[in-house]
């Protein structure tokens, strides 16, 4: 027995619920399948307590619903979750929870067939639809790199998605690996909880404050990216001085060019730079190996640690379950084409939330996908479309 619908959406994060809301507004039947027991599991279960949206609120809202005016410019996680909960009620988005999709394939050249394991009954359930929307996220599973000797490390090892706050690390020597937005903020959080903290940084980073990013994004409406980048590269030097004194390298490309061309976000300084300058956070290069509780870095330095937090990012898991990729995804489970041509594949397949543009990219993709599905349905019904 299978359940039939028009569009099957996999994932009930911001991308999945936004797509379902847009389809509901167009009266197009859809089913949302979610492996967890709630919407937005990344925000509700897999992010640290002090997280706020890194971008100003006008760049983070989903289609058809603005943030309430009393929300602060940089919305804290719990308020963002409130907003998402009210979003699903308002647009009547009703995901089927505890459904982990194990395969999606094209059947008879006509429809998509999705098999999902029901975590409650352990039964496999089958769903069929004309359209398939992949909304499982760029951040589906935490990624921990292979490190020589990691399995023999005696202390605690967690991924940033398992870190809530630094309470239990008070008084401990903790190494944070990775200097993206999670790593830099977790390092700061740990210091505030009384841990002795070091951060291992592999690549050059552009570091800005939230306010600088907000200002830069508003300038980009009027000025070309290279002009805005030049201004910000000067501003970064003015604000932080020569970061190489503290073991940090800055890329030759500016923050907004890198975001637009590679999807790599600038790193938002939440107070971490001051802690690095005062020596409260030590900076090391990449790890070369671990022997017991001693970690060695590429610089040749060694140090003892009692815990490691890997803030080394996430991976798309699309390749694990998607049997026919509709020409859309590469080997890493990311779109083959770059934004803005990334969202539509063949045979009614779409993806939402894979533009490397955060929530603003999700809002754009969701509306494009819903409108495209409406157009195709209308064309198939032989109706005139204006």
Ligand X SMILES: Cc1cc2nc3c(=O)[nH]c(=O)nc-3n(C[C@H](O)[C@H](O)[C@H](O)COP(=O)(O)OP(=O)(O)OC[C@H]3O[C@@H](n4cnc5c(N)ncnc54)[C@H](O)[C@@H]3O)c2cc1C
Residues that bind ligand X (CB under 6 A): 10-16, 33-36, 40-42, 47, 51, 53-55, 60, 100-101, 135-137, 139-140, 182, 317, 321, 353, 358-359, 362
> In this structure, how many other beta carbons lie within 10 angstroms of the beta carbon of residue 301?
12
Instruction: Count the Cβ atoms, other than its own, within 10 Å of residue 142.
Output: 17
Query: How far apart are CB 58 and ligand X at their closest, in Å?
Result: 11
* Residue 166 · residue 317 · CB < 8 Å: no
Comparison of 100 and 285: residue with beta carbon closer to ligand X:
100
Tokens of 112: 């998509």
CB of 81 to ligand X, least distance (A): 11
The nearer residue to ligand X, 113 or 196, going by C-beta atoms, is 113
Q: How far is the CB of 24 from ligand X (least distance, A)?
A: 17
Q: How far is the CB of 373 from ligand X (least distance, A)?
A: 18
Nearer to ligand X, 254 or 358 (CB): 358
Q: Which is nearer to ligand X, 129 or 196 (CB)?
A: 129
Bond from prior residue into 59 cis (ω within 30 degrees of 0): no
- Check the CA dihedral 21-366-136-177 and report its sign: negative
CB of residue 45 vs ligand X: minimum separation in angstroms? 9
Q: Minimum distance between the CB of residue 378 and ligand X, rounded to whole angstroms?
A: 27
| Cβ-closest position to ligand X | 13
Which CB, 53 or 373, lies closer to ligand X?
53
Backbone angles phi, psi at 333, to 5 degrees: 75, 25
Detail the DSSP E strand segments found in the chain: 2-10, 30-33, 99-107, 111-118, 124-134, 141-142, 156-159, 173-177, 196-200, 207-208, 267-268, 281-284, 287-291, 294-297, 302-304, 307-310, 314-315, 349-351
Q: Which is nearer to ligand X, 116 or 157 (CB)?
A: 116
């Amino acid at each position: 027995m299978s359940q039939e619908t028009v569009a099957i959406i996999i994932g009930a994060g911001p991308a999945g619920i936004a797509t379902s809301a847009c389809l509901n507004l167009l009266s197009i039947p859809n089913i949302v399948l979610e492996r967890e027991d709630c919407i937005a599991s990344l925000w509700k279960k897999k992010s640290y307590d002090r997280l706020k949206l890194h971008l100003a609120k006008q760049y983070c809202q989903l289609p058809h619903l603005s943030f309430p005016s009393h929300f602060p410019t940089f919305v804290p996680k719990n308020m963002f979750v409130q907003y998402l909960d009210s979003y699903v009620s308002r647009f009547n988005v009703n995901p089927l929870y505890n459904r982990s999709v194990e395969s999606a394939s094209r059947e008879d050249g006509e429809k998509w067939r999705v098999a999902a394991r029901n975590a409650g009954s352990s039964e496999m359930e089958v769903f069929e639809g004309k359209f398939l929307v992949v909304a499982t996220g760029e951040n589906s599973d935490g990624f921990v790199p292979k490190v020589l000797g990691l399995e023999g490390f005696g202390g605690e090892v967690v991924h940033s998605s398992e870190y809530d706050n630094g309470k239990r690390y008070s008084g401990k020597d903790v190494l944070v690996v990775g200097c993206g937005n999670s790593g830099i903020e977790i390092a700061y959080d740990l210091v505030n909880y009384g841990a002795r903290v070091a951060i291992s940084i592999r690549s050059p980073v552009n570091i800005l404050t939230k306010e600088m990013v907000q200002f830069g994004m508003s300038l980009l409406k009027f000025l070309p990216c290279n002009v805005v980048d030049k201004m910000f590269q000067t501003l970064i030097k003015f604000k932080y001085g020569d970061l190489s004194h503290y073991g940090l390298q800055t890329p030759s490309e500016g923050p907004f060019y890198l975001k637009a061309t590679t999807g790599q976000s600038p790193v938002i300084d939440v107070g971490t730079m001051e802690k690095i300058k005062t020596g409260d956070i030590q900076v090391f290069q990449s790890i070369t190996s671990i022997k017991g509780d001693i970690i060695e870095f590429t610089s040749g330095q060694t140090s003892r640690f009692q815990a490691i937090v890997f803030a080394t990012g996430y991976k798309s898991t699309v390749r694990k379950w998607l049997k026919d990729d509709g020409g859309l995804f590469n080997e890493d489970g990311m779109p083959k084409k770059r934004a803005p041509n990334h969202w539509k594949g063949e045979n009614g397949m779409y993806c939402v939330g894979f533009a490397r543009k955060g929530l603003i990219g999700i809002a754009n993709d969701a509306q494009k996908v819903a409108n495209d599905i409406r157009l195709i349905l209308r064309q198939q019904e032989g109706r005139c479309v204006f």
